[in-house]
Structure 1
Amino acid sequence: MNRLISAFDDKYEERLASGASLDFGAVFAELEVQERLTVLSEFLRPHRERYAIRDLLLTRTSAQYPRYVEITTQEATSRTVTADLESIVLDSAGFAKVFAEVVGAFHGKPPRERVLAQFSHMGMIAKLIDDIVDFWDDIAHGRLNILHGLLRENAAEHERVMACAATRRAAGLRWWRATCPTSFERHCDLLREHRRCVTSPPLRLACDLMLVPVALRRPVLHTAPVGLRI
Structure 2
Amino acid sequence: MCQPYTSPAMMRQARMLQLRTAWRLLPYALRHTTHKPFRSTPQARNATDQLQSAEFRRTAHDMYCEMFLDGYRQATSYRVSRDTGLALVLFMVFIFTFDQEFEHARRLGDPPGYQSVIDTPRVAEIWTALADYLRAFGRDEEILAHLRSTFAKHYDDYCGYVAEASGGAEFAVTLRLVERDSGMTLRTVYEIIRLFNGHRSHPGCARQFFDVGMAGKFLDDIRDMVDDVAAGDPNLLYSLAAENHRERDVLEAAMEKGEPIDLWWWANNCPCTLESFFAHTFRYYDQVLATKLRLSLDICHCLLYSRRYWRTPIRRSPIGAQ
Tell me which residue corresponds to 1:144. Answer: 234
Question: Alpha carbons of 1:112 and 1:211: their partners in 2 closer, same or farther (altered >3 Å)?
Answer: same
Which residue is equivalent to 2:158?
68
SS at match of 1:73: helix
Q: TM-score, normalised by structure 1?
A: 0.91
Secondary structure at 2:321 match in 1: coil
Residue pair 1:96, 1:122 contacting (<8 A) in 2 also: yes
2:151 counterpart SS class: helix
Output one character per residue of 1:138-197: Cα deviation in whole Å (capped at 9) or x when no partner: 11211110001111222221221122225245512x321221122221111101111111
SS in 2 for 1:120: helix
Work out the number of aligned pairs and report it.
229
In 2, Cα distance between equivalents of 1:135 and 1:77: 12
CA contact (8 A) 2:215 2:284 kept: yes
Q: CA deviation at 1:134?
A: 1.1
| Residue 47 (structure 1) aligned with residue 172 (structure 2) | no
**What's the counterpart of residue 165 of structure 1?**
255
Taking only aligned residues, the RMSD between alpha carbons, in angstroms, comes to: 2.0
The 5 Å alignment of 1:55-204 reads 55-74=145-164, 76=166, 79-166=169-256, 167-172=258-263, 174-204=264-294
2: CA distance between counterparts of 1:150 and 1:177? 15
Give the Cα–Cα distance (whole angstroms) in 2 for the partners of residues 77 and 112 of structure 1: 38
Distance 1:52 1:75, change over 3 A: closer
Larger Rg: 1 or 2? 2
Aligned letter for 1:227?
I
Tell me, which stretches of 5 or more residues in structure 2 are unaligned?
A: 1-90
> Normalising by the residue count of structure 2, what TM-score does the alignment of the two structures yield?
0.66
Match of residue 126 from structure 2: 36
Report deviation, 1:43.
1.4
Kindly indicate whether the alpha-carbon contact (under 8 Å) linking 2:183 and 2:214 is maintained by their aligned counterparts in 1. Answer: yes
Consecutive unaligned residues of structure 1, counting only runs of 5 or more, are none
For each residue in 1:31-75, what CA deviation from the matched residue of structure 2 results, as whole angstroms up to 9, or x when unmatched? 211121122122122222111101111121112111111011126
Residues 165 and 234 in structure 2, CA contact (< 8 A), matched pair in contact too: no
* Equivalent AA in structure 2 for residue 107 of structure 1: N
> What corresponds to 1:207 in structure 2?
297
Q: How far does residue 18 in structure 1 lie from its aligned partner after superposition?
A: 2.6
Contact 1:147/1:187 (CA < 8 Å) preserved in 2? yes
Cα pair 2:164 2:173 within 8 Å, conserved: no
- Secondary structure at 2:304 match in 1: helix
| 8 Å CA contact retained: 1:100, 1:111 | no
Matched, 1:229 2:321: yes
In structure 2, what is the Cα distance between the partners aligned to 1:26 and 1:79? 28
